[in-house]
Amino acid sequence: MALAVDASRFEGVPMAPPDPILGVSEAFKADTSDLKLNLGVGAYRTEELQPAVLNVVKKAEKLMLEKGENKEYLPIEGFAAFNKATADLLLGADNPVIKQGRVATLQSLSGTGSLRLAAAFIQRYFPDAKVLISSPTWGNHKNIFNDARVPWSEYRYYDPKTVGLDFEGMIADIQAAPEGSFVLLHGCAHNPTGIDPTPEQWEKLADVIEEKKHMPFFDVAYQGFASGSLDEDASSVRLFVKRGLEVFVAQSYSKNLGLYAERIGAINVICSAPEVADRVKSQLKRLARPMYSNPPIHGAKIVANVVGDPTMFGEWKEEMEQMAGRIKNVRQKLYDSLTEKDQSGKDWSFILSQIGMFSFTGLNRPQSDNMTDKWHIYMTKDGRISLAGLNLAKCEYLADAIIDSFHNVN
């Protein structure tokens, strides 16, 4: 029998570039240095820099095992108890929009899947609309809208001169955008900068978005994890909803419950009337069906069990406060180490004004390369570091690396 010698039908398929975030972890694993530190991936670590499973998650899983529940398919919209719990957590259980039936909620595949489902909805029902994305933003946002064939542009956000928020530029760009644009906003703990608008600035943003008839689209990946308070971290979303605006909100439980591998999240659309919410939900279900048919059950039941049991819910809030507290302690220690070691007089206070898992160091690409090549510290090339991968014992070493890279690398 003759062997086939024809060229592969896949000759025209090029090699994809490595993922800029997940590639950091691969490089870290290959490094044999004892000094190496992985500050690239946004996943919580203990003070011993080990992955953690929350105690309340273990309790919820034990309860599920004892009940001996089956593995039947969920409906397309997901687990009903989860959908109720996630909308209540986001908006507050007593929020009028919930009581009036004006919220369309679909369980989806964590934050990424929820964003992707919403992007498909925008592409189908708002084909002429553009999405405005902060500069910079989470690396996957652009991938999601590109893949859904939704056009996007950037609005100013980060000011490299102050390592803070360029609020005037942000407002100007949102005002200049075509009427009816979708404005993607980070609900709290902006990724990658860790810089959030103040309450007064959120009010001004709401004014402009309402005036321009834009659609606010929140990505809420860190509710409860940023400040330690579920309500405080949802205040930006609730502000827009209270004004009567229609709002998209994507949620994830990867960070606040540590359910990274469970891919549990939701897309919520707050609508002007119950009948509108019904229509929106029906079309979200229609879009989800050919994508993944129905979502996984395990993570949904964990969230529903934790939120539905007052004792476990209280324990979860305590564990969230502990996680957020550890990040705050590391942030303070890093600032103290930088100010003590750096004799140049540089102001490092921006470290303390940022919030959440990440810190934007202000380091450029060559300086970030120096962090890796010389100091074995792995991070994204935009200067973002994940404080979740840092402990108190390593803060001084990190401060030495940052000071060297900032002052000695152009």
Residue numbers annotated as active site = 138, 219, 255
* CB-based contact 104:271 (threshold 8 Å): yes
DSSP letter string over 256-283? Answer: TS--GGGTEEEEEEE-SSHHHHHHHHHH
Q: Quick one: tokens of 41?
A: 């991936």
Task: Count the Cβ atoms, other than its own, within 10 Å of residue 288.
Answer: 25
Q: Name residue, tokens 């309402």.
A: 210
CA angle 356, 222, 81 (to 5 degrees): 160
Distance (Å, whole) CA 143 – CA 138: 10
Q: Name residue, tokens 């803060």.
A: 395
Helix/strand/coil for 56 = helix
* CB-based contact 250:267 (threshold 8 Å): yes
* CB-based contact 295:109 (threshold 8 Å): yes
* CB-based contact 405:370 (threshold 8 Å): yes
Work out whether strand 152-156 and strand 131-135 pair parallel, antiparallel, or are unpaired: parallel
* CB-based contact 359:395 (threshold 8 Å): no
* CB-based contact 209:174 (threshold 8 Å): yes
Q: How far is CA 182 from the centre of its chain?
A: 18
Distance (Å, whole) CA 317 – CA 323: 10
Q: Quick one: tokens of 354?
A: 């940022």
Distance (Å, whole) CA 211 – CA 205: 10
